Amino acid sequence: MTIYLDCNATTPIDPRVLAEVHRCFVEEIGNAGSPHEYGLRAKQIVHTARDQIARIIAAKRNEIIFTSGATEANNLAILGLFDHGVASGKRHIVSTQIEHKAVLEPLSYMKNRGFDVTLVPPASNGRVNADAILDAVRPDTLLVSMMHVNNETGVIQPVADVAEGLASPDLFLHIDAAQGFGKDLDPLRHPRIDLMSISSHKIFGPVGIGALFVRRRRDRDIPLTPLMHGGGQELGLRPGTLPVPLISGFGLAAELSAAEADARRVACQNIREQIIAGLSPLQPIYHGDEAVSLPHVISVSFSGIDADEVIELLTGVAAVSTGSACTSVCATSSHVLSAMGVAQPELDGAVRISWSHRTESSELQTSIPQFVDRLSRMMSPQ
Ligand SMILES: Cc1ncc(COP(=O)(O)O)c(C=O)c1O
């Protein structure tokens, strides 16, 4: 049986969440916008989920806008500020070179339409320096958009330091928290954050649902223009019938992630140690600084083997990936590791191994020796 080690691409749904999603599909048949009792029940379920999600990032219920996932949330946060940028003459955006394509692509859309985008590079340890981000801010900066945790290396970015250093109220701060939400919560509660993207399928919830947190201040609303137009749901920012079962599952997954965050972290750390000890005969080259990383992912190269070969060699043993799921499909080498200055042979060989608190240590005991055996045969052909 192939062990699943690609939890940064997507996590298996938690059985408790699956039971709730199933219950809603079967029992809660109403549209949350309908006035009758089925509709009111559905509306109540959506309220509860909104509260569950809002609570863990110190937000209010009306600050959670449900979307299809973090990609859509990122697009709404960035492209949604286009009109305001044009109207106010603020056409500069600061971001980083290690963002997910779901941020880089909306940024290049803005760039192609007259915006100026500064992408700050990371240090070789995978972390972008907070001062480098703050130094890039100009009087005409509309938005700073940065990720919380990198999807390839697991390196935690200095969100709170950037939030602390951004004095100007005229500038918006967006955080792509797809990989850290539910795992490293403190920085995400910073009151300077204006917009934040989160995703359910990264935290053992159903795929196809996520949210954009949009801060509502008494003195200043965030001037987002919706990307779609329709029935006015989600305060007009994201119209469309709400997928109540998915939302309910997302709410429960979020609540469980916060309640169990410490235990999950310890379990992941133990698995990390098991994996690192098991792989040591291969003399792996690790990318990114472990001291500032979440403990459920490693980016690693094995001397002389290309990433595609690693993946093929591991067929039937372990499912690992070459970077972000999109990057794998796009068959390009990692822009994240390249920005960190990783040399070409290691860049070509880099694979991402990511697990969760639910990864079975006993399964690893069987699969890691097979992993080592298959790769070492390739590294030193007989
Ligand atoms: C950092 C980051 N941002 C955004 C996304 C996109 O999230 P979703 O799959 O919910 O659209 C991902 C998914 O891998 C991610 O890792």
* 69 close to ligand 1 (CB < 6 Angstrom): yes
Residue ranges of the chain that CATH labels 3.40.640.10: 15-258
CA 363 – CA 2 distance, rounded (Å): 9
In order along its 382 residues, the chain shows pLDDT tens digits of 899 999 999 999 999 999 999 999 999 999 999 999 999 999 999 999 999 999 999 999 999 999 999 999 999 999 999 999 999 999 999 999 999 999 999 999 999 999 999 999 999 999 999 999 999 999 999 999 999 999 999 999 999 999 999 988 789 999 999 999 999 999 999 999 999 999 999 999 999 999 999 999 888 889 999 999 999 999 999 999 999 999 999 999 999 999 999 999 999 999 999 999 999 999 999 999 999 999 999 999 998 899 999 999 999 999 999 875 554 445 578 999 999 999 999 999 999 999 999 999 999 999 999 999 999 988 755 4
Residue nearest to atom 11 of ligand 1 (CA): 71
Residues belonging to the chain: 382
Burial class (CB in 10 A: 0-12, 13-18, 19+), 106: buried
What dihedral angle (degrees, nearest 10) is formed by the CA atoms of 81, 171, 150, 12?
-50
Give yes or no for residue 100 CB within 6 A of ligand 1. Answer: yes
Alpha helix segments (H runs only) across the chain = 15-27, 37-56, 70-79, 82-88, 101-112, 130-135, 159-165, 244-259, 261-279, 307-313, 325-330, 335-339, 344-349, 361-379
- The pTM of the full predicted model, rounded to 2 decimals, is 0.96
What atom of ligand 1 comes closest to residue 147's alpha carbon? 1
Ranges of CATH 3.90.1150.10 domains, the chain: 3-11+261-379
Number of C-beta neighbours around residue 223 at 10 A:
13
Q: Is 358:256 a contact under the CB 8 Å cutoff?
A: no
CA of 102 to the centre of ligand 1 (A): 7
Verify whether ligand 1 is closer than 6 Å to residue 200 (CB atom).
no
Q: Which fold has domain 15-258?
A: Aspartate Aminotransferase; domain 2 (3.40.640)
**Is any ligand 1 atom within 6 A of the Cβ of residue 354?**
no
From 66, 67, 71, give the residue whose CB has the most ligand 1 atoms within 8 Å, as the site to mutate.
71
Does 324 sit in the ligand 1 pocket, CB within 6 Å?
yes
Tell me how far apart the terminal alpha carbons of the chain are, to the nearest angstrom: 27
Q: Which CATH homologous superfamily contains domain 3-11+261-379? A: Aspartate Aminotransferase, domain 1 (3.90.1150.10)
